[in-house]
Amino acid sequence: MHLARFNRISLGHFPTPLEKLENLSRTLDGPEIYIKRDDCTGLATGGNKTRKLEFLVADAVAQGADTLVTQGATQSNHVRQTAAAARRVGMKCHALLERRVTNMGDDYEAAGNVLLDDMLRCEYEYRDEGLDMNAEAEALGERLRDRGLKPYVIPGGGSNAIGALGYASCAAELLQQADSQNLKIDRIVHATGSAGTQAGLVAGLHAMNAPVRVEGISVRASREKQIDNVYKLACRTSELLGVKGDLSRDLIEAYDEYVGPGYGQPTDAMVDAISLLAADEGIFLDPVYSGKGMAGMIGLIRAGELKKGENVVFIHTGGASALFAYPHLFSRQKAA
């Protein structure tokens, strides 16, 4: 694995910190818990999409693009980070927002990430749920091309093999930190959605022959479907990296017990997990991804799947901006 062979621009603050969660480890009385602070990547409040965009936007620049086109749900962290990346390289950003969540408060389409999209001068249009959103984004790209622009279409979540390189790079960064702290990592846990994060991590760890298992906590798809999506993308990423030898499907694990009623729909376990991390560590998770990811990690500890004596790294993938679209879940005033 030699990532400098690929086009890359600097958009974030790296390496992100790897820290021990002393209080949470004590509270849960299970494994030693560490956190990889990818919520601190620094691009317009940060998050995991920044790593992917360093490779994707570099590819767009290399192709002479002047406009980034992408898609996501209404409160997409990916759209917000893509819009910020576009500002940094002097491009426009056009996005499609899918109305996947329609039962939240009045502010859902104005607060949180949508507010930040406005400030970043992102041009966005809404779509009803259920369309092939990547096909919609390609069609938008065609329309912009007809208008004389040079669009570069980024798939939802930045999850193709180029974007996943960002998480192969994270795997290398994490191992280097662990080695310098003399920390043997047994497991990595994180929220998995469009699959690029997990696929990149697995491909990177495989390339480095590092026997660390990655537990993906699904925020939307069933276990089978998520494993399938991650596996296919991990294979394509491994191929792009030029890694020899097939990647085994056994390397991919995903859990769908923490999705609850659906994507972006609150669960009690998510609310408890977010409240616990804020209270114990002063760290904000988000209601759509990292809150469910943490609920999953807590569930695996309670089930004895993650045990005392193990070292577990939770990757905080960001997303706290979306808390402001869900004030009723956490506001003591609104609860009173």
Ligand X SMILES: *Cc1c(COP(=O)(O)O)cnc(C)c1O
Burial class (CB in 10 A: 0-12, 13-18, 19+), 275: middle
Please name the residues in contact with 51: beta carbons below 8 A apart, sequence gap of 6 or more: 12, 14, 38, 41, 166, 167, 169, 170, 200
**Rounded to the nearest whole angstrom, what is the least distance from the CB of residue 278 to ligand X in the complex?**
16
| Pick 52 or 187: Cβ nearer ligand X | 52
Which of 94, 143, 100 has the alpha carbon at shortest distance from 120?
94
| Pick 144 or 287: Cβ nearer ligand X | 287
| Pick 47 or 151: Cβ nearer ligand X | 47
**Rounded to the nearest whole angstrom, what is the least distance from the CB of residue 148 to ligand X in the complex?**
32
Strand order of the β-sheet with 187-192 is 18-20, 32-37, 311-316, 187-192, 213-218, 252-255
DSSP 67-85: EEEEEEETT-HHHHHHHHH
218 is catalytic: no
What part of residues 109-138 is at the interface with ligand X (CB under 6 A)?
A: none
Q: Which of 76, 169, 194, 238 is catalytic?
A: 76
**Rounded to the nearest whole angstrom, what is the least distance from the CB of residue 110 to ligand X in the complex?**
19
Report yes or no: 198 and 230 within 8 Å, Cβ to Cβ: yes
What part of residues 147-166 is at the interface with ligand X (CB under 6 A)?
A: 157, 159
| Pick 45 or 177: Cβ nearer ligand X | 45
What part of residues 269-328 is at the interface with ligand X (CB under 6 A)?
A: 286, 289-290, 317-319
| Cα–Cα dist 182/140, whole Å | 49
Q: Which of 12, 30, 31, 47 forms a contact with ligand X (CB under 6 A)?
A: 47
What part of residues 183-222 is at the interface with ligand X (CB under 6 A)?
A: 191-198
Catalytic residues, which ones? 76
Interface ranges with ligand X (CB under 6 A): 47-48, 77-78, 157, 159, 191-198, 286, 289-290, 317-319
